[in-house]
Structure 1
Amino acid sequence: MKKKILLIQPENAEINRFRRKQFNNFVQITMPYLAAFIDEALYEITLVDEYNEKIPFDRFFDLVAITVNTPNAYHCYKISRIFRERGARVALGGPHVTLMPDEARAYCDHILVGEGEETWPRFLRDFYNGRAGGVYAPVSPPALKDLPPPRWELLRRRFSVMKSAVFSTRGCPYHCRYCNLKQIYGDGFRTRPDDEVLREIGGLKAKHFVFWDDNFFADKRHALALMSGLKKLKKRWAAQVTLADCDDDGLLEAARDAGCLYLFVGLESFSDASLNDAGKGVNRVGDYGRIIGMIHRHRILVQAGVVFGFDSDGPDVFEKTLRACETLGIDGATVSILTPLPKTPVYAQLKAEGRLLTGDWSMYNGKTHVAFQPKNMTARQLYEGYTDFRRRFYSLPSFLKRYRVSKTRLPYSFLMNLGYRLAIRGSAYEEAPAGKSTVPEPRCQQRTQKAER
C-alpha cells in the first residue's frame, strides 16, 4: 500500500508578500529535485510551494518533508507541529537544519543533515519499512553523478523569466565571512558530468533556465565544456559567478555563444574596506569598470549582488553605491541587508561583540529587517538607506542612466528592472524584538527521541 508524502517548499507570510510583488523570481529547485528520488511504487507524492499554494492541512499524510532555511525556521516548526498533532511524521532538512540540528530535532520526528543524494533515498526506504531513525547525515560528500532530473511537472508554475533550474557544480572556492556555504557543503568544490547536465537541460520544456550553481565559472574547464554543448540546445540562461572569473574574454565569448543572458555577480560593495570586512579579497573595486565593460561587450547583462551593513559602511554608502552603479551601467541589482546567518564568521563576531539585536530567526531574511547593530550608523539608518537605494536604483531616471552605459539587451533589461520596481512598496522600519519569536512547544519531543537509533 502506498504511503502519502507531502513535500513543502515553505515561505512565511512576510517574505511571501515581499517576493510576490516582483514577478521575476526564480523557481526553487529543492523539492522538485528531491521528488525525483521518490519511488512512486511506494509513495503518493504531493508537492506544495507556498509561494503560490496553500498547505493542505486538512488532508492526511503519512510523511511530511520540509526544507528549512533560517528565516523560515520558526514558520516550519509551526507547520511541523500542526501535522504531527494530526498523526503525520515530519522530516526536516535544508540549510538551517544542517547548521542548527540540535534546535531542529525538538520540532520534528526526523532530521536530514547536509546533502541528501544518499541520505534522502535511504531515509525513504527506512520510513516505508517502519525503521526510520531520528537523524540522517552523509558519511562523505556525495558524488554528483547519475542524478535524476527534477520533477518540474509536480510544481504549479508561477510567472518567471527563468522557468527552470539546473545545477552543474556544488560549493565555492572562496571564503566570504557572511556566507555559510562552507558550513553546509564543506570546503570542497564538485562538478557533475557534463553529458548528464546537458541531457537534463535538453529535456527542459522551458527555453529559459538558471544555473543553480553557487559559482558557475569556478571550474573554467567544466564551464567551457558545458557551454560548448549548450550552443546546440538554443536555450537562454543565467548563472551566478565571481567577477574575477569573468576577466576572461574567451570564457565570456563562450557564454554569449551558448545563450547566456545575464550573470549574477556578487560585487557586494564598491568599497575596498567593506570588501575586506566581507572577506571578499577576490574582488577589486578598481577592476569593476574594466571587467563589467568586458561583460557588456559580449551582450551579457550584469545583475549585481549588493550588500549594505558592513562595518566600514556609513550613512553615505547608499548614495556612493547608487552613483557607482549608474557610472558602470549595472543592469540590475539584488540588494540585501547584511545578515549574520548562524555558524558564519560574521555571526560569531557580532555575537561576541554583543551586537546581535534579536534571536528571532524570522528577522534574519536580509530584506525586511536588520538583525544586528551596525557599527557606523543606526539600524534604522541602515534599513531606510537600503529601501531608499532600491527605490532610487529602480526608478526610470536611474534605469535610463544605466542603460545608456550598458546598451545591453534592452527588452530583458527593462523587464528585469520593472519586476523589481513593482516590488518596491516601502514598509516602515520596525525594531527587532530582543528575544525569540513565539515558537511552537516541542510537544512531541518524546516521540522524536524514541525514533532515534
Structure 2
Amino acid sequence: MKKTILLITPENREINKFRKKQVNNFIQITMPYLAGFIDESKYDIILIDEYNQKIPFEDRFDLIAITVNTSNASHCYEVATKFRNKGCKVVFGGPHSTLMPDEAINYCDYIIIGEAEETWPQFLEDFYEDKAKKQYKAEYATALKGIPFPRRDLIKGRCFTKGAVFATRGCPYQCSYCNLKQIYFNSFRVRPIEEVIEDIKSIDKKYFVFWDDNFFGDIEYAKRLMKELSRLNKKWAAQVTLERCEDEELLKLAKKSGCIYFFVGLESFSEMSLASVNKTINNVDKYKRIIDLIHKNGISIQAGIIFGFDTDTKDVFKKTLEACNKLGIDGVTVSILTPLPKTPIYDQLKKENRLISMDWMYFNGKTRVAFKPKNMTPQELFNGYMWFRKEFYSMKSIIKRLSVSKTNIIYNFIVNLGYKFSIRETRFSNIEVNKYDV
C-alpha cells in the first residue's frame, strides 16, 4: 500500500513579502532533487514551495519532509507542530538541522543530518517498513555520480524560474561568515560532465541557473563542462569568485556556452572588511580590471554586497553606492551581515555578547539585524542598508550603471525594475530585543 509524502520548501511570510516581485527568483532545488530518490511504487509525492503555494494543512499525509534553513527555522517548527498535532510524522533535513540537530529534533519525529544522498533513501525505506530511526547522519562525502535528476515535473507555477541544476558541491575557500564547511564535508566535488549535460537537457526551458556554491571551484572542470554546454543553445547564470574571472579563456567559454550573468560575492569595497572575514581572495584594487573584462566578454554581474562588518562606519553605504555606479555593477543582492550558527563569526559575536536575539527570524539578512554592530546601532545599520537598496535601484542609478556596463541592457533593465518595484518601506523589525537578549 502506498504512503503519501509532502515535501515542503519553506518560506516565512516576512521573507516571501520581501522577495515576491523580484523577477529572477529561481526555484530552490533541494526538494525537487530529493523527490528524485523517492520510489513511486511506495509513495505518492506532493511538492509544495511556499514562495508561490500554500501548505495544505487541512489534508493528511503519512510523512512531511521539510528542508530547514536558519532564517526559516522558527517557521518550520511551527509548520511541523501543526502537522504533528494532527498525528502526521515529520522529518527535517537541510542546513539548520545539520548545524543545530539537538534543537531541531525537538520539533520533528526524524532528522537527517548532513548530505542526504545515502541517508535519505535509507530513511525512506525504513519509514515505509515502519522501522525508521530517530536520526540519520552522513558519515562520508558523497560521490556525485549516478544521482537522480530533480523532479521538475512536480514544480508548480514557476514558468521561467524552475530551471536549476548543480554540477559541483562545496567551495575551496574559508570565509568566516559562511557555513558551507559546517554543512558539507570539507571537500570540493564534481559531477560527471555527461550527467550534468543530460540533466540540463531535461530542463524544458531555455534559461537555467547553476545552483553551485562556486561554479569555478575547479577551473579545468568548468572549461570542459562549458565546451559541452555550448552545444545546447541554453542561457544560464552561476555563482563564481571574482579572482577566477581573470582567466579570459574561461570567460569566452562561458559566453559561448550561453552565460548571461555571474553572481559574484564582492561583499565589500574595503580591504580591511574583507580581511576581517577571511575573504582576502577578493582584491579591491583588481575589481575594475576584472569587472571590465567580464563586461567585455558580454557577461553581466550580480554582485553580492554585505553591510555590517566591524570595520564598516556610517559612510559605507554611500561609498559602496558610488563604487557600484562607477564600476557599472549590473545588479546587487545586498544583505545585512548574518552570524549563522557554527560559523567563526557567530562564535566571535556570541563570545563578545553582541548577539541581539536567538529567535532565528532575526537571522535572515534582509529584514532584521541579529547582532550589535561595532560602529553604528542596529537601527542605523538597517536604515543604511535600506537606503542603499533604494538608491541603487533608483532610475538615476540604473541608467548610470547600465551606461557603464553596456551589457545585456534590455535584460538588465527588466531585472533592475523588478528589484525597484519589490522595494517597500520595510520597517525595522527588531522589536523584541530584550525578550531574546543573550
Q: What range describes the TM-score normalised by the shorter chain of this pair?
A: over 0.9
For 1:389, the equivalent position in structure 2 comes to 388
C-alpha spacing 1:32/1:336, structure 2 compared with 1 (3 Å):
same
For 1:325, the equivalent position in structure 2 comes to 324
For 1:199, the equivalent position in structure 2 comes to 198
For 1:411, the equivalent position in structure 2 comes to 410
For 1:444, the equivalent position in structure 2 comes to none
SS at match of 2:231: helix
SS at match of 2:8: strand
Q: What is the identity, as a one-letter code, of the residue corresponding to 2:263?
A: F
**Structure 1 residue 187: deviation in Å?**
1.6
**Structure 1 residue 436: deviation in Å?**
6.7
For 1:179, the equivalent position in structure 2 comes to 178
Cα distance in 2 for residues equivalent to 1:140 and 1:362: 31
Q: What is the identity, as a one-letter code, of the residue corresponding to 1:250?
A: E
> How many equivalent pairs are there?
436
Q: What is the identity, as a one-letter code, of the residue corresponding to 2:433?
A: A
Contact 1:370 1:432 (C-alpha < 8 Å) held by counterparts: no
Between 239-248 and 22-31, the greater mean CA deviation after superposition:
22-31
For 1:341, the equivalent position in structure 2 comes to 340
SS at match of 2:230: helix
Contact 2:18 2:422 (C-alpha < 8 Å) held by counterparts: yes
Contact 2:114 2:137 (C-alpha < 8 Å) held by counterparts: yes
SS at match of 2:420: helix
For 2:245, the equivalent position in structure 1 comes to 246
For 2:307, the equivalent position in structure 1 comes to 308
Q: What is the identity, as a one-letter code, of the residue corresponding to 2:144?
A: L
For 1:84, the equivalent position in structure 2 comes to 84
For 1:29, the equivalent position in structure 2 comes to 29
Contact 2:302 2:332 (C-alpha < 8 Å) held by counterparts: yes
**Structure 1 residue 412: deviation in Å?**
1.1
**Structure 1 residue 87: deviation in Å?**
1.3
Identity %: 58
Contact 1:360 1:433 (C-alpha < 8 Å) held by counterparts: no
Cα distance in 1 for residues equivalent to 2:431 and 2:268: 25
For 2:419, the equivalent position in structure 1 comes to 420
Q: What is the identity, as a one-letter code, of the residue corresponding to 1:179?
A: C
Name structure 1 gaps, 5 residues minimum. 438-453
Cα distance in 1 for residues equivalent to 2:225 and 2:196: 8
For residues 195-274 of structure 1, the aligned pairs below 5 Å read 195-274=194-273
Contact 1:23 1:159 (C-alpha < 8 Å) held by counterparts: no
Name structure 2 gaps, 5 residues minimum. none
Cα distance in 1 for residues equivalent to 2:284 and 2:435: 38
C-alpha spacing 1:418/1:229, structure 2 compared with 1 (3 Å):
same
Contact 2:140 2:185 (C-alpha < 8 Å) held by counterparts: no
Q: What is the identity, as a one-letter code, of the residue corresponding to 1:275?
A: L
Q: Stretches of 4+ moved more than 6 A in 1?
A: none
Cα distance in 1 for residues equivalent to 2:116 and 2:419: 33
The C-alpha deviation readout for 1:194-244, integer Å capped at 9, x for no partner, is 000001111110100000000001101110011000111000000000000
SS at match of 1:106: helix
For 1:357, the equivalent position in structure 2 comes to 356
For 1:290, the equivalent position in structure 2 comes to 289
Cα distance in 2 for residues equivalent to 1:131 and 1:15: 37
Structural RMSD (CA)? 1.0
Cα distance in 2 for residues equivalent to 1:26 and 1:205: 14
C-alpha spacing 1:212/1:436, structure 2 compared with 1 (3 Å):
farther
Cα distance in 1 for residues equivalent to 2:301 and 2:215: 15
Q: What is the identity, as a one-letter code, of the residue corresponding to 1:11?
A: E
**Structure 1 residue 434: deviation in Å?**
3.3
**Structure 1 residue 159: deviation in Å?**
5.4
Q: What is the identity, as a one-letter code, of the residue corresponding to 2:249?
A: G
Q: Higher RCO, 1 or 2 (CA under 8 Å, sep at least 6)?
A: 1
Matched, 1:10 2:36: no
Q: What is the identity, as a one-letter code, of the residue corresponding to 1:216?
A: F
Contact 2:22 2:415 (C-alpha < 8 Å) held by counterparts: no
For 1:446, the equivalent position in structure 2 comes to none
Between 235-244 and 427-436, the greater mean CA deviation after superposition:
427-436
With structure 2 as the length reference, what TM-score do the two structures score?
0.98
Contact 1:228 1:258 (C-alpha < 8 Å) held by counterparts: yes
SS at match of 1:144: coil
For 1:277, the equivalent position in structure 2 comes to 276
The C-alpha deviation readout for 1:295-344, integer Å capped at 9, x for no partner, is 00000001100000000000000000000001100000000000000000
**Structure 1 residue 411: deviation in Å?**
1.2
**Structure 1 residue 281: deviation in Å?**
0.6
The C-alpha deviation readout for 1:416-447, integer Å capped at 9, x for no partner, is 1111111111212233523677xxxxxxxxxx
C-alpha spacing 1:109/1:372, structure 2 compared with 1 (3 Å):
same
Q: What is the identity, as a one-letter code, of the residue corresponding to 1:141?
A: A
Q: What is the identity, as a one-letter code, of the residue corresponding to 1:322?
A: L
Cα distance in 1 for residues equivalent to 2:130 and 2:378: 50
SS at match of 1:217: coil
